[in-house]
Each structure stands twice: as structure tokens, then as C-alpha cells.
Amino acid sequence: MFTEVLVALVIGGLIYFLVQRSRTQVLKTKDGWWGCGAQPAADEDVTIRPFKVTTSDEELEDLYRRIDQTRPVPSLEDSQFNYGFNSQYLQKVVSYWRNDFDWRRQVDKLNQYPHFKTKIEGIDVHYIHVKPKKVPEGTSPIPLIMVHGWPGSFYEFYGLIPLLTEPSNPNDLVFELVCPSIPGYGFSDAPHKKGFNSVCAARIFHKLMKRLGFQQFYAHGGDWGYLVTTNMAQLEPKIVKGLHVNFAPPAKPGLVMMSSIMLGRRFPQLFGFTDMDIERLYPCMQKLVVHSIRETGYMHIQATKPDTAGRGLNDSPVGLATYILEKFSTWTNSDFRNLEDGGLTRKFSLDDLLTNVMIYWTSGCIISSMRFYKENFSNGLNEPHATMPVYVPTGYACFPNELMHTPKLWVQQKYHNLVTFTPMARGGHFAAMEEPQLMAEDIQKFIKLVEKKKK
């Protein structure tokens, strides 16, 4: 009996040791230099400079000239969006862009929030920093960094910002927001050297938040933003108080995931599968393979030869808009590919969609944004962060029309301290832009729970 107790204590102690050891695991990284040429010996200028989005007659004249010279190509009959962006509807979008879209008015809208730039690791990093106008007495605003993805931008969060900084419910938390442009996107400089991946972006954003004076903060991300903020949590888990994401594809298919795929349809309760899980995952071949192939052709191009395809998009505004807006159709709802107009204005306004396109066009960032795929996929799934768990409190908003469905069980394989898992009522990949109210409510719910536990 004594021997059995001793063995149990030893095994229990070993398990406790391994768990505690894994909890102290942090992602390792080294400072980089992404500016032109060799890193100078002098200390980097850490000045924070105000920035404004601007435009000019010359910029607009060049845009209109290029739009006017586009060469239309008819779509196949009855093809809708199944071959890509429908050409007949594209002509309507282009006509609106050329004749009715007011870029100067949208520039004013972009500038309604304070923009800044600061140099980190040799490149200018752009961000907006929005402080709440009113904070309840006796409280402080909660700092939250929100990171976008591709082919999105910081503009994705414009509908979400007032809901978090000026909530209508007096019981809601009030946030102070930092929304940066990933280097190579929008108005952040593009790295001049190879190797700038999500971990590098995470490291730079940690430096940004420290430069702004934040000792601790929360983070939110979707698309690439989910990976950047996840890396932030892995790099400095004591600084990231909580992580909220709305995209979490499995990094590596493990035993739990494979077992659940094979047996989940027959024994859903064994794996905690819901009706949504069953609907999204089965039949397995069609859902997980055919759909992925249909929607990920762009990824293979951008993960291998981004500069080749990018040159055409950088020269043609219509080509750029076609490439980007097609994603806002089928990634919002895969059924939209069966509509002549791709369902684009069912969820978004053309003004908002074209504003996002114009951020890419005026900054000339499409190639550098596409390179982010190559840098992140260069080592396949062998990056250290791919197999490293996240122990920071995490909230996951599960939108029903997301590109890849991730059941709660799969999310928990990566995020070991999953505080909330919310099946959302509606919404797809660009959830912050499509459903800002739902996103704000879920962020509030998650962070309230984390704050309550800490107290």
C-alpha cells in the first residue's frame, strides 16, 4: 500500500512539475533590424509623431486615368462569383468608384481618430490611438490593442471603436484602443529584409505598447491578427492580461483533432461537438478539403511568389479591387459565390469596401502585405510557436460563416486557459467590420470575466 501511494505521489509530482514547467514556457525572440542597409550605431529615434492621411489632385487624377484605361472582360454566362469576381457587377463597382466615391470625404473619416507613427527596429510603425472621452469616476480605461489581417486594415475596427470607447451601457468597461498597421500594411513601412513574420510583428507591437506607457494590456485579433496577438501572449504572458480572437485554425493536426474528426459524427457528445460543429465539419472530405482548396488558391501564390502576382495588382486599381473585394464576398459567406453581385453590399457599404481598397492603393502596400504569407509559411508548421500552448486567459468568438470552423475542443488544444467560447449568432471572416456590435459584446463579456477573476 505504501509503495502504491509513493508511486502515485511521484507520478503526481512529475505531472505537476511538467505542467508548471510548460506554464513558464515563453517564446524566445531577438531584436531585428528591418530598415535599409546595416543598422546604424546610433540609438534609434523613439519619437512619437502625429500622422494624417492625405490625398491630392495628382493622386486622384492618376487613379481615374488608370480606371479609365481598364480593359473589361465578360464573365461566363450564369457564373455568378464561382469563377471569381463577376465582371458585370465589377463594372458597376468600378463606375461607382470612378464617379460617386468621395475619397476626400473618406480621408476625413479616417482622420477622425488620432494617427501616429514611431520608428521601431528601423521602420515607421503606424497606429491609431483612441482614448475615451469619458471614464467613470474611480475607474481607469482598459488598454486594448486590436490587430487586423489580410486583405484588411486598421479601418476594419472603425465601427467597433466607438462601441468600446463610448459604450452606451453604464455597466460596460471603457477601453483605450491602439490599432496598428502590421508592418508592410497600410501606412506602416514595409520591412526591407527577408524574414519578417508574425513573431517579429508581435515583438514590435510589444515595443509599441511599452513606448506608449502600458505595463499590461489586453489584445484582440482576427485573421493574421489572431496569430500576431497569440505570439504576443506567448512572448510576454505576464504583460498580456487576456487574449480575444475570432480566428483560431489548428496549427498542427494532433491525436485529439484526428480522433474527433473520425469519431465525432457518430459520438458527438464524446468530443463536446454541437450541432454547429457537425454541420460545419461533415461530410469531412467536402467540408475540410474541397472548400479549403476552393478558397485558398491566393494563399499558395502569396506563400511562394508574392512579388510576381503583386506587380499587376500594384499597377491596376481595378485589378487590386477585384482581388481584395472578392475575399469580402466569399469569406463573409461562402453561399455569396452563387449571387451575381457576390452579396457584397448585404453586409458592407461600397464606401467602406473601397476605403479599405484605397488604403492599399494609396500606400502601395499590396506586395509587402502579400509577402507576410511567404515569411510565415517559409518553415511550414515547424515554428516554435506552432506547438507552444497559450496560458494567457483567452476568449474565442466563433462566427458561423468563418472560413475554417474550429470546435471548442480544438481551440482548447492551443489555448489552455479558455475563459469564454461564444457561438455567435451571425457573421463571417471580417467579423469586426461586419458585426461590430456582436464583437463588442463578446469582448466586453470576456474581459469582464477576466477582470472579475483577477479581483
Active site residues: 223, 373, 429
For 171-201, letters b (16+ CB in 10 Å) and e give: ebbbbbbbbbbbbbbbbbbbbeeeebbbbbb
8 Å CB contact between 251 and 414? yes
8 Å CB contact between 441 and 294? no
Angle at 303 between CA 195 and CA 381, to 5 degrees: 75
8 Å CB contact between 127 and 178? yes
Nearest Cα to Cα of residue 176 among 208, 214, 204, 138: 214
